[in-house]
Structure 1
């Protein structure tokens, strides 16, 4: 009797298993198809990107978008998201000094499909006005990758740009820098008209021009930087930054008897290189200096 019962129950159990709930999965690593694995109901349309997040020290509603998907190995992948906290009307909260939220979500290959594995909702903060800026995945060494985040902003006419780096680990995302690196700056908006910083900084260097101006002002400057990581074999390679600086040598000559001032102005061009080296678990300055002014 027991053998007949087993023969009867086996097809029934198989049928129930087939009808049971299946683990949500995606056939590809297309970012918009991966998001619902971690955020049910998410869609790329306005309004449906807004999802609740329970962070370590707070909770809120965030407008979340996927920005990068990287294969870490044959069986693991990582999706990076950018999130902006919003109010009940879907409007961004916070101000100039409010960074955006970086999220990290790991996927595991199951046969021919991808399933959600682990998550790190608060993997880092970067940017201004709740926006993290632009992102890029770069190679550190064989099988090791980093997320580079560049962002910029202006304050009272001075503008700057910064770089943050995060290692994309198999289980966790972590910062590679003690603090963001300044990679660009200019102050043309902080120098009042009629002075034209753009015209001053494109002059041929080595020539002094005498200007008559109404009042003393700040000298013009513009620094632009580029960077690259030279991939290493086992350990991450050097982070190399190259800067091009345009500076005005500004020498006002005040004459009490004159309502205006005479200015000797010349343009100076220079290039600088700064190298960061990977030590311990992060990048530290190795040589050179950063010419970007602070403001």
Structure 2
């Protein structure tokens, strides 16, 4: 499977309350006698709220017990080839016109039906739009495997936003941690577009080397950006995107020559602030003012 953007990103990343007991008649306590649920079962999200839409989209391929579906979908770039994927719902929203939007996270499956996700494997984004006809949900548009985002087979954190008046959008914050270096990227999608694609091209909104920083590290940093939309003054299809950055660097006062040292060097703390404004032009967001000061990793 070819995931050009995901591979590029991966290359960058590589560098107890106790109540009063109740007396019960001599009837076995089913809950007490049943085996304790595993940690994964206890923390498994409840996907039942997606059941109606999932059934409408996938029919017999929808597995009500797990809340997911196993289906054949086109490869993200080799669209004439198909493979088996596990699709799990992560978000849904009803738009002003009554259209329902269903967002799913996809993972490739091997011949045994096991997900092939590893630490560096992105999740695959799919979006379905449904409308009711004669009381039944019908798929209106399918946007399948349109992007590879995040790591560990997860597309990241999904948020609903408004790209402009009357233009609902999907914001996904995604990334990962590699060798103590963490990065988070922002991707934006117009879910009502005929062809859904990332409008901003995965811009950096956070990075740090906290997990790598130690006595032998000359510069430690953490920088985050708070993003928001502001009214466009150019009549663009979407509002401008403003990102305000804050953070700090901790820099060793002298060059670290002993890479095996356990002695933390004296450091100076340098605050970091800045902002960047992106405008929508020629089919995508472009930097118009300021600078994205989030360090690469």
Structure-1-length-normalised TM-score: 0.72
Structure 1 residue 67 displacement after superposition = 2.2
2:240 to 238, 241, 258: 238
CA distance in 2, matches of 1:260, 1:81: 46
Change (3 A) 1:231 1:287: closer
Is 1:142–2:144 an aligned residue pair?
Answer: no
What's the counterpart of residue 218 of structure 1?
Answer: 218
What's the counterpart of residue 274 of structure 2?
Answer: 272
Q: Does the aligned pair in 2 maintain the 1:139–1:231 contact within 8 Å?
A: no
What's the counterpart of residue 208 of structure 2?
Answer: 186
Structure of higher CA gyration radius: 1
Structure 1, unpaired ranges of 5+:
1-29, 196-215
CA distance in 2, matches of 1:90, 1:217: 43
> 236-245 vs 80-89, which deviates more?
80-89
CA distance in 2, matches of 1:60, 1:93: 12
Q: Does the aligned pair in 2 maintain the 1:72–1:170 contact within 8 Å?
A: no
SS in 1 for 2:53: helix
Change (3 A) 1:263 1:153: same
Structure 1 residue 267 displacement after superposition = 0.8
CA distance in 2, matches of 1:64, 1:279: 33
1:114-148 C-alpha deviation (Å, 9 max, x unpaired) = 32223121222211132111111210122212211
What's the counterpart of residue 199 of structure 2?
Answer: 176
1:19-72 C-alpha deviation (Å, 9 max, x unpaired) = xxxxxxxxxxx5321112121131343385333324414322222122232334
CA distance in 2, matches of 1:148, 1:254: 41
Change (3 A) 1:265 1:58: same
Structure 1 residue 254 displacement after superposition = 7.6
Structure 1 residue 108 displacement after superposition = 2.2
Change (3 A) 1:254 1:168: closer
Q: Does the aligned pair in 1 maintain the 2:73–2:145 contact within 8 Å?
A: no
Change (3 A) 1:251 1:146: same
SS in 1 for 2:155: coil
Structure-2-length-normalised TM-score: 0.71
What's the counterpart of residue 82 of structure 2?
Answer: 59
Structure 2, unpaired ranges of 5+:
1-48
CA distance in 2, matches of 1:64, 1:260: 47
